[in-house]
Amino acid sequence: MSDRRSVRRALIMAGVGGVAAAGLLGPGAATAQAAESCPDVEVVFARGTAEPAGLGRVGQAFVDDLQNALSGRTVSAYAVNYPASYDFLQSAPLGADDASGRIQAIAATCPSTSIVVGGYSQGAAAVDLITADPNAAFGFGRPMPPAVADHVSAVAVFGNPSAKIGRPLTTISPLYGAKTIDLCNGADPVCSNGDDRPAHSQYVQAGFTQQAATFVAGRVNAPAPAEVMVNASATVG
C-alpha cells in the first residue's frame, strides 16, 4: 500500500508542477494495418497527466527524434487513448489496457514490425502496468502475455513514478528490463527524491528524448538472436 501511495503522490506532483503541452479503443480493439502496409517500426506512446489527446509534447519529440535516427525506415506512431486525468487510479489502468490492446494487435497482424513502447509521467506508469506489475499496482494485474515481449524491441519511459520508490522499470521487469531506458531529469520529484518541479516539464529541452531515441535506434538496428546464430554458424570453419 505504501508503494501505491508513493506512486500516486508522485503523479499528483506531476500535475501540480504544470505538466502541460502538448482516441477510445477498448482492450484488444485497436485495428492494425494489413500485413502489406505494416511499418518497419511502430511507437506506442502514452502521454502525461493533463496533456491534450495525442502523443503529448515529450512523445512527439521522441517520435521525431527516432524517425531521424532511423532514416530509411518507416516509423508510425500510436497515441495511447486514455484520459490522462488526475483520477490516476482509474486513468492509468485505462491507458495500460489501450496500450496493451494496440501492442498485441500489432504483434499479431504485423509480426515483423519492431514495436517501441513509451510513456511520460502517468503514461510511464501505464507502461509499467503492462510490462512489469509484480504487485498488481492500482489493482491492475494484467501484464501483457510473455510472448509479446519478442515483438517489442525497446521501451522508453520519462519521469517514471516507479523510479521514485526505487523500482525503475530497468530492474523490475524480467522481460523488458534489458531493453528499457528509464530516464529521470535530475531532481524531478516525480521520479526522484528531489524537489525541482520545473524539471518534470523539461525532458525535451534537456535532450532526454534524443538520448532515448539513440538508445531505441540501437535496439531496433541490433540483429535478432536468430540472425546472430545464423551469421556465426556461417563463419565456422
Strand positions, DSSP E, the chain: 41-46, 75-79, 114-120, 152-158, 180-183
- Cα distance between residue 218 and residue 215, in whole Å: 5
Positions annotated as catalytic residues are 121, 188, 200
- Cα distance between residue 117 and residue 209, in whole Å: 13
Q: Is 154 helix (H, G, I), strand (E, B) or coil?
A: strand
Q: How many CB atoms lie within 10 A of CB 50?
A: 19
- Cα distance between residue 39 and residue 196, in whole Å: 39
- Cα distance between residue 118 and residue 180, in whole Å: 9
Secondary structure in 3-state letters for 98-142: HHHHHHHHHHHHCCCCEEEEEEECHHHHHHHHHHCCCCCHHHCCC
- Cα distance between residue 130 and residue 144, in whole Å: 5
